[in-house]
Structure 1
C-alpha cells in the first residue's frame, strides 16, 4: 500500500527513477511491461507513493540501461521501510517542508549555506532564533515560536553529535550587524558563531561590506550534498517556506553561485577577527 505520508526523500527517489525511464525513452506502460507489473505500480513508485526495494531499484535501472553503478547504489540506499526520525514528532505541529528539511540534513554527507540577513539556522542560539521568529509575518503565537525553536535546536545535532556532518557557512557582514533581540542577544550569537567555527567540521566565512560584486539574490541558499552529485539538493528559504530544487541545470547554477560567494569571502581567521570586532562594538 502507498505510505500514509510521502516525504521529500521518497519523492526524490521516485523522481530520479522517472528521469532514468525518460532518458531511456520508455513510457510508464513499457516500463511496467518490462517489470511485469501494472502501469499504476510504476506511476506510484515515481510519485513516491509506493515503497520500493533495493532489488527493484536495481532491476529498474538495468531495464533503463543505466550503467552508473555509484548512482544506482545511491538510489538503492534510499529504499526500504521508512524510518521514523526525531522530526516526526513535529508532523502535526510544523509545516511539512520543515520536516523535509530536517530529513534532508540528516541524510546529507556535507552542507554549504550562504546567508545575508539571518544567521544560518544550524548555528543560531535559541535566543537569537526566538528573536527572529518574533518578527514573522503573520505573527506566530508564543507556543508556535517555542515549537520552532526546539525544532531548530534539535536540527543542530547533525553538526555536533555522533559523526558530525561537514558544514560551511558563508555569512554576509550584514547578518552579523542585524542585532536581532538587542545587544546582549546579538553579542552572544556572535560569540557562539566564533566558538562553533572552531569545530573541526564547521567552517564560517564572512563576505564583508565593500566586496565588489554579489552573485546572489540575497535569499538564504543551502546545498546539501548527496552520496553522488546527482542527488545533491538546493534549498531556498523563502517567505512562503522551503523550496527544494534538484534539476541538473539549477544544481549547477547554484553551486556556481556558492563557489563565487565563498571565493569572495574572508579567510576563516579573518572572518573570526571581524566577528570578534563587531561583537565588541555592540
Structure 2
C-alpha cells in the first residue's frame, strides 16, 4: 500500500512521538530500520504518519527506545491499535479533515477540557444553535447542514458506554450573544442546564466581573488520556487551526484552564435546591440570562 498523503492527527501524533523517543534514545533512522528489518524510508514514513506500524513492530520499537510499561507505552500501543475506521470516516469527502480529527480525538479522550469566550462549545450546542453558527461561518445555510449533523453526532462521546469527562468554561458573553434569535438562545441555555445533569459534564460560567483573563486566553480545547504526555491542545482559527502536542505547551494550557476554573463561578448543579443559589453561581446566571430573553 502506498504511503498516505493526508494522515490523520492520530497518525501524525503517533509518528511524532516515535520520532521523539528515537531521538531521545540516541538512535538513528538506520538503527530503527534494523530493529524492524525494513528500509530506512519506512521509518521516515512511520514517523510522518504516512504508513502504519504493526503492533508487534511498535512493541519492538518502544522496547528499543527504552519506553517501558506505563501510561505512555499503553497509550502509544492503543493509538496503533485504533487503525480501524471510526464513524467519522463515513463523512470523508463531505466533512473536512480537522472536524474528523476532532471527532476521533473526542472518541479516544478520557477528559475533555473546553474554554470558550465567544460561543457555546460545539459539544454542548443544540442543533438550532449549531445551525445558526455554522451558517455564518460557512456563508451558506445549505453548505452548513452536513457540518451541523456532524457536530451533533460528535456529542455521542458524552453518552457513550465509557463517556468522556467534559469540563467546560464558557464566558458570560457567549450566553448573552443573540445567536439565532431569542428562541434559539433560550433552548441553548436550557440545554446547558440539562447536559449538566450528566455525571460526566461540568459547566462553569466566567462572568464579566472576573476580568479579562478569559478573553486573553482565547478559545482552546485540551484532549486528555491515560497520560499527560499524550495530551493534545486544539486552537481553533478560521484560516489555519493548530494542534499542539508538545508537553510544555499542553502543560501551560492545563494550568491556564485551572486558573480559569478558579476565577469562574461555581459549576452548574441543577439538582441543588433554590436556597443553595443565594450566592451568584453558574446556574443562577444562566437562568437570569434565559429569563431575560
User: Could you say which TM-score interval applies, normalised by the shorter chain?
Assistant: over 0.9
Structure 1 residue aligned with 2:104: 103
- In structure 1, runs of 5+ residues without a counterpart are none
Q: Give the deviation of 1:238 after TM superposition.
A: 1.0
| Structure 1 residues 115-152: Cα deviation after superposition (integer angstroms, max 9, x where no partner) | 0111000100010011112222xx53332211110000
What is residue 254 of structure 1 aligned with on the other side? 253
Aligned length: 280
CA–CA separation in structure 1 for the residues paired with 2:96 and 2:206: 31
1:217 deviation in Å?
3.2
Does structure 1 residue 88 correspond to structure 2 residue 89? yes
Task: Look up the match of 2:174.
Answer: 175
Correspondence list, 1:161-240, <5 A: 161-214=160-213, 217-240=216-239
Task: Please report how far the alpha carbon of residue 3 of structure 1 lies from its aligned counterpart in structure 2 after TM superposition.
Answer: 5.6
Residues 145 and 88 (structure 1), Cα distance of their counterparts in 2 relative to 1, 3 Å cut: same
Contact 2:224 2:232 (8 Å CA) reproduced: yes
Q: Do 1:53 and 1:79's aligned partners in 2 also have CA atoms closer than 8 Å? A: yes
Alignment RMSD (CA, Å):
1.7
In 1, Cα distance between the equivalents of 2:13 and 2:122?
Answer: 23
Shift of 1:215: 5.7
Name the CA distance, whole Å, in 1 between partners of 2:221 and 2:70: 27
Pick closer, same or farther for the CA change 1:64–1:161 going to 2, 3 Å: closer
Provide the C-alpha distance between the structure 1 equivalents of 2:7 and 2:57, rounded to a whole number of angstroms: 19
Residues 2 and 8 (structure 1), Cα distance of their counterparts in 2 relative to 1, 3 Å cut:
farther
Contact 2:157/2:164 (8 A) holds in 1: yes
Once the two structures are overlaid, the 10-residue window that deviates more, 211-220 or 84-93, is: 211-220
Q: Distance in 2 between matches of 1:19 and 1:112?
A: 26
Corresponding residue SS for 1:65: coil
Secondary structure of the 1:78 match is helix
CA displacement at 1:35 relative to structure 2: 3.3
Match of 1:278 in 2: 289
Could you say which residue in structure 2 is the equivalent of 1:37?
A: 38
Structure 2 gaps of 5+ residues are 269-280
* 1:54–1:77 contact (8 Å) kept in structure 2: no
Question: Would the alpha carbon gap of residues 105 and 116 (structure 1) be closer, same or farther in structure 2, given more than 3 Å must change?
Answer: same
Tell whether 2:66 aligns with 1:55.
no
TM-score scaled by structure 2? 0.90
- CA 215–184 in structure 1, closer or farther in 2 if over 3 Å, else same: closer
Aligned-pair CA distance for 1:241: 4.7
Separation in 1 of the partners of 2:139 and 2:84? Answer: 30
How far, CA to CA, are the matches of 1:187 and 1:223 in structure 2? Answer: 28
1:219-276 superposed Cα distances (whole Å, 9 cap, x missing partner):
3210011221111100111112532111111111111111110111111141111100
SS class of match (2:257): helix
3-state SS of 2:213 partner: coil
1:94 touches 1:148 (CA, 8 Å); kept in 2? yes
The structure 1 segments of at least 4 consecutive aligned residues displaced by more than 4 Å after TM superposition are 2-5
Q: Measure the CA separation in 1 of the matches of 2:82 and 2:257.
A: 35
Q: Distance in 2 between matches of 1:26 and 1:112?
A: 36
Q: Is the 8 A contact 2:126 2:188 kept in 1?
A: yes
